[in-house]
């Protein structure tokens, strides 16, 4: 089966530098970054990402402004579908199934839809999609307030590496888990992702001295080629969106099974078939 990458080569130079004329600071995330992480605001700053349920994809689009969130989502889903066993094993080996024990199949069937929360599986797959490490930054809010070790802080402060080792090591994309303002008498729960951009070139060089790619300005990246200019316009019409939804009969089967225990396998079969067909469907939509 041909890959989506055969049709569209993914940009190699992400936007990693903060530009005050383009980017808007996320002030709440900035406070979390300053008070509950070891990253200084003078080195990296959090940028606002839309809060429509697709914040991780919007965060990634800050790095790749010419790529639509639809394409980012589709590439992520295809990566998970084609290499589900790899990601199942990776998440388990890293102990991240303690954070989210959702299977790859269930994760894909859920994030096919807009506005669904993303997690460690999505981050792991996106690292392979972008062919770059993704540094996950989780603020130590609960540990600071309670004085006890926060297991989530320990597990989620890590760097996700691409499935295939890149021949040209490059600077990591930084994504921060954000959320509401901390309160002393309540456990803090993350509910948002924001991108972190470097405030100066030297910081990026420190992250990866071997990065051979030269960061380009937003305008240069935006108009690098006529091919790139068409990427962000990749959207789905109603018929294409229907291709990515569960079969219409699935919900009927689920409702029927609530009253009929003799047919426990029908919905599972339809869901599994949707999962197995997802990569082919994505290929049809984008090609």
Q: Tell me, what's the pLDDT at 156?
A: 95
Report the alpha-carbon distance of residue 63 to residue 41 in Å, rounded. 18
Q: Tell me, what's the pLDDT at 284?
A: 58
Same domain, 60 and 159: yes
Q: Tell me, what's the pLDDT at 225?
A: 35
Q: Among 220, 235, 250, where does a domain finish? A: 235
Q: Structural domain tally of the chain?
A: 2
Same domain, 251 and 227: no
Q: Tell me, what's the pLDDT at 215?
A: 35
Q: Tell me, what's the pLDDT at 147?
A: 74
Same domain, 202 and 256: no
Residue 150: which CATH number?
3.90.70.80
Report the alpha-carbon distance of residue 168 to residue 173 in Å, rounded. 15
Q: Tell me, what's the pLDDT at 140?
A: 93
Q: Which tens digit of pLDDT belongs to each residue from 84-116? A: 999 999 999 999 999 899 999 999 999 999 999
pLDDT under 50 in the chain at which residues?
Answer: 4, 202-203, 205-237, 239-264, 286
| b/e per residue 141-150 (b: at least 16 CB within 10 A) | bbbebeeeeb
| pTM for the structure as a whole | 0.71
**What domain range includes position 281?**
236-287
Same domain, 163 and 39: yes
């Amino acid at each position: 089966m041909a890959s989506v990458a055969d049709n569209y080569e993914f940009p190699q130079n992400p936007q990693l530098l903060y530009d005050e004329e383009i980017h808007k600071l996320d002030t709440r995330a900035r406070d979390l970054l300053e008070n509950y992480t070891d990253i200084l605001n003078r080195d990296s700053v959090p940028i606002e990402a839309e809060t429509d349920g697709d914040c991780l994809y919007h965060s990634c689009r800050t790095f790749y402004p010419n790529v639509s969130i639809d394409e980012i989502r589709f590439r992520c889903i295809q990566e998970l579908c084609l290499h589900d066993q790899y990601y199942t094993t990776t998440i388990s080996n890293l102990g991240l199934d303690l954070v989210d024990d959702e299977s790859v199949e269930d994760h894909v069937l859920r994030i096919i839809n807009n506005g669904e929360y993303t997690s460690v599986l999505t981050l792991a797959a996106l690292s392979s999609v972008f062919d770059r490490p993704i540094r996950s930054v989780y603020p130590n809010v609960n540990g600071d307030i309670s004085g006890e070790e926060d297991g989530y802080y320990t597990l989620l402060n890590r760097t996700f590496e691409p499935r295939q080792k890149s021949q040209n090591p490059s600077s990591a994309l930084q994504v921060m888990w954000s959320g509401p303002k901390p309160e002393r008498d309540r456990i803090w729960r993350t509910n948002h992702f924001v991108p972190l951009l470097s405030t100066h070139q030297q910081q990026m060089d420190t992250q990866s001295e071997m990065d051979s790619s030269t960061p380009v300005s937003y305008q240069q990246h935006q108009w690098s080629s006529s091919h790139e200019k068409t990427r962000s316009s990749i959207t789905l019409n109603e018929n294409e969106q229907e291709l990515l939804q569960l079969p219409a009969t699935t919900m009927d089967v689920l409702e029927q099974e609530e009253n009929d225990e003799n047919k426990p396998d029908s919905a599972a079969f339809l869901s599994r078939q949707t999962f197995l067909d997802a990569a082919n469907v994505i290929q049809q939509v984008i090609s």
